[in-house]
Amino acid sequence: MGGEPVTIPENGLHIYDTTLRDGVQQRGVSLSVADKLAVAGHLDALGVGFIEGGWPGAVPRDTEFFRRARHDLRLRHAQLAVFGSTRRPGVRADRDQQVRALLDAETPVVTLVAKAHDRHVERALRTTPTENLAMIRDTVRVLVAQGRRVFVDAEHFFDGYLSDARYALAVVRTAAEAGAEVVVLCDTNGGMLPRQLGEIVASTASTGLRIGIHCHDDTGCAVANSLVAVDAGATHVQGTANGYGERSGNANLFTLVADLVLKGGRPAVPASQLPELTRISRAIADVVQVPVDPRQPYVGSSAFAHKAGLHASAIKVDPALYQHVEPERLGNRMHLVVSDLAGRASVQLKAAELGYDLAGEPETAARVIKRVKELEARGYSFESAEASFELLLREELAGEESWGAGGSFQVESWRVITFQRGGREPVCEATVTMLAYDERIISTAEGAGPAEALDQAVRSGLERFFPELTSAFVTRYGVRVLPSGEDGRAVTQVLLEAGSGESSWGTVGVHSNPVVASWEAVYQSIAYALLRRRPTEQRTTAAR
């Protein structure tokens, strides 16, 4: 479970992940033992040096995690660390049950949390500053004597330094002299700003001891503070995947790794693993069930998205004009967003991204731009509805609405009724009449709302002709009521997201009648699902 030396040299930069301990303190996050093993595997694939698995003895699930990790976790890059506290006041370290639980985890690394703030010692631990130093010294010595590598997290270090710098530094010195390999300075409350934090780290590092940094994001500076700390002498950096953590979260480990490697030239992870960053970020998000923020640096879906026409025009000449790094280096990709801000370059680049060559079609590009602007003025939004944009593009290229299953699928009529049985929840029933390969189909289905009922009715009627629809399903349904139009009636915008396997697509419908808007989004979603089955070369044909 990670007993071999870490890939990064011992005197180099430590990348220490605490997702499985500090990250799971985020509101709404709860990981099973199997989840934690899966996340650890993803982190190891990235190439971090250390993975903190949890607090055995204090958390039963973590005790089970370490038991299973001995047999189920095969780490290639990382060493597994166990987390816990120093001995209790007045108890011998070799007889303290909590210390024994740390040894029983059988990890090569033990991380101890120790109070570095005089007021916390007196009010939270309810002991004396002298006894707190003895607790640190005794516990570190016992663990080192058992062959463990010991890291000490100096909790509330920066607040403690500002309160009593002499005592905070005594905590660091005591831990190091007892045999701790690294003493980690923790901005536990997340209240520090970069300039002051950097000065304190530099002053502490001048003692010659090995210093680490652990930052929370309560001022929005966790990553910046961590980078400043490294510049000031810290050689051990802690963070969490996607910035998970209590309150505002911890320093985002993925942003830190990318910054350190690409901007700082520091070997935070093996260079060969950096293109895995985006995939691993999203894989962990799937396990944790907290989506990656689209605007998250480097790995977010919008991290390299461009919307303004001016930007797209420049990117067409040279992507580096509006991108600070190539997205492919992180496993991400550039993304063109089509909206009413789009110019010809935006449309041409977006079309190329979808597989259509408009370089020699300036008139078509102009028509597409005009339609996009007109539709967005009426309430459409193509930013999250790229499937609708592609269908619009094909209409302009082919000169007709020819994308519905290659002309073999047409809708004659549809209707939706809402009814209630007794005291149960109201139900929508949709009936759709269609033609597929010259056969007339009447399909009826129920759903919680009009979109679900219509989607079920269309798919169930077409599945025997198009089996691929069995794996296409709606994943999100959003409704917005937009300001009234010229006729004074409110307009409803429906955004639909659907998926099939690992891919997903979005469509949009707009109408004063919300059921009609739902139908438009559903119809386009089904049509796009059928379009996706076509070979790429048929897209090129449609563009001629």
pLDDT digits (tens, 9 = 90+) for 467-482: 888 877 788 888 888 7
Q: In whole angstroms, what is the distance from residue 470 CA to residue 455 CA? A: 12
353 and 432 share a domain?
no
Phi, psi for 49 (deg, rounded to 5)? -80, -35
**Contact yes or no for 506/520 (Cβ under 8 A):** no
* Last residue within a domain, chosen from 237, 263, 288: 288
Which pLDDT score is estimated for 318? 61
Q: Which of 79-88, 177-186, 484-493, 494-503 has the lowest mean pLDDT?
A: 484-493
Q: For residue range 154-197, list pLDDT tens digits in order.
A: 999 999 999 999 999 999 999 999 999 999 999 999 999 999 99
Q: Which residue has the tokens 């492919």?
A: 328
**Contact yes or no for 463/490 (Cβ under 8 A):** no
**Residue 91 maps to a domain:** yes
What angle (nearest 5°) sits at the alpha carbon of residue 189, between those of residues 236 and 183?
25
- 334: pLDDT confidence band, cut at 50, 70 and 90? confident
Which pLDDT score is estimated for 26? 94
- 518: pLDDT confidence band, cut at 50, 70 and 90? very high
| C-alpha distance from residue 316 to each of 321, 347, 350, 356, 541 (Å) | 9, 11, 11, 15, 24
Number of domains in the chain: 3
150 and 82 share a domain?
yes
**Most trustworthy range by pLDDT among 140-144, 417-421, 525-529:** 140-144
Give the torsion sign (CA, 354, 356, 358, 363): negative
Q: Which of 227-241, 270-284, 285-299, 312-326 has the lowest mean pLDDT?
A: 312-326
Span 18-44, average pLDDT: 94
359 and 492 share a domain?
no
DSSP 452-484: HHHHHHHHHHHTTT-GGGGG-EEEEEEEEEEPP
**Residue 388 maps to a domain:** no
Q: In whole angstroms, what is the distance from residue 13 CA to residue 49 CA? A: 9
The pLDDT of residue 14 is above 50: yes
432 and 371 share a domain?
no
Which pLDDT score is estimated for 452? 92
Q: For residue range 198-223, list pLDDT tens digits in order.
A: 999 999 999 889 999 999 999 999 99
**Residue 113 maps to a domain:** yes
Counting beta carbons within 10 angstroms of the beta carbon of residue 82, is it exposed (0 to 12), middle (13 to 18) or buried (19 or more)? buried
372 and 412 share a domain?
no
201 and 337 share a domain?
no
Give per-residue burial for 289-317: e unless 16+ CB within 10 Å, then b. ebebbeebbbbbbebbbbbebebbbbbbe
Span 103-126, average pLDDT: 93
| DSSP summary character for residue 208 | S
The pLDDT of residue 541 is above 70: no
Which pLDDT score is estimated for 502? 64
Which pLDDT score is estimated for 337? 61
**What contacts 186, CB < 8 A, 6 or more positions away?**
116, 153, 154, 155, 156, 157, 158, 214, 215
198 and 132 share a domain?
yes
The residue that leads in pLDDT, 462 or 423, is: 462
Which pLDDT score is estimated for 543? 38
Encoded tokens for 141? 């010595």
- 404: pLDDT confidence band, cut at 50, 70 and 90? very low
Q: What is the CATH number of the domain that holds 471?
A: 3.30.160.270
428 and 331 share a domain?
no
| C-alpha distance from residue 149 to each of 143, 154, 260 (Å) | 8, 16, 25
Q: In whole angstroms, what is the distance from residue 314 CA to residue 426 CA? A: 52
Chain-centre distance for alpha carbon 429: 37
225 and 91 share a domain?
yes
Give per-residue burial for 469-496: e unless 16+ CB within 10 Å, then b. beebebeebebeeeeeeeeeeebbbbbb
The pLDDT of residue 77 is above 50: yes
Which pLDDT score is estimated for 69? 94
Q: In whole angstroms, what is the distance from residue 326 CA to residue 312 CA? A: 16
The pLDDT of residue 252 is above 50: yes
Q: What is the CATH number of the domain that holds 85?
A: 3.20.20.70
Q: Is 46 left (phi over 0), alpha (psi -120 to 50) or beta?
A: alpha
* Last residue within a domain, chosen from 260, 288, 316: 288
Domain ranges, residue 85: 14-288
**Residue 1 maps to a domain:** no
**Residue 9 maps to a domain:** no
The pLDDT of residue 537 is above 90: no
| DSSP summary character for residue 293 | P
Q: In whole angstroms, what is the distance from residue 356 CA to residue 347 CA? A: 10
Helix (H) or strand (E) holding 231: helix 222-231
Q: In whole angstroms, what is the distance from residue 206 CA to residue 526 CA? A: 65
Which pLDDT score is estimated for 501? 64
Which pLDDT score is estimated for 534? 52
| DSSP summary character for residue 240 | B
From the list 105, 46, 108, 110, the residue with the least C-alpha distance to 77 is 46
The pLDDT of residue 315 is above 70: no
**Residue 528 maps to a domain:** yes
* Last residue within a domain, chosen from 227, 259, 288: 288
442 and 530 share a domain?
yes
**Residue 392 maps to a domain:** no
**Residue 172 maps to a domain:** yes
217 and 361 share a domain?
no
3-state secondary structure of 250: strand
135 and 244 share a domain?
yes
The β-bridge partners of 305 are: 335
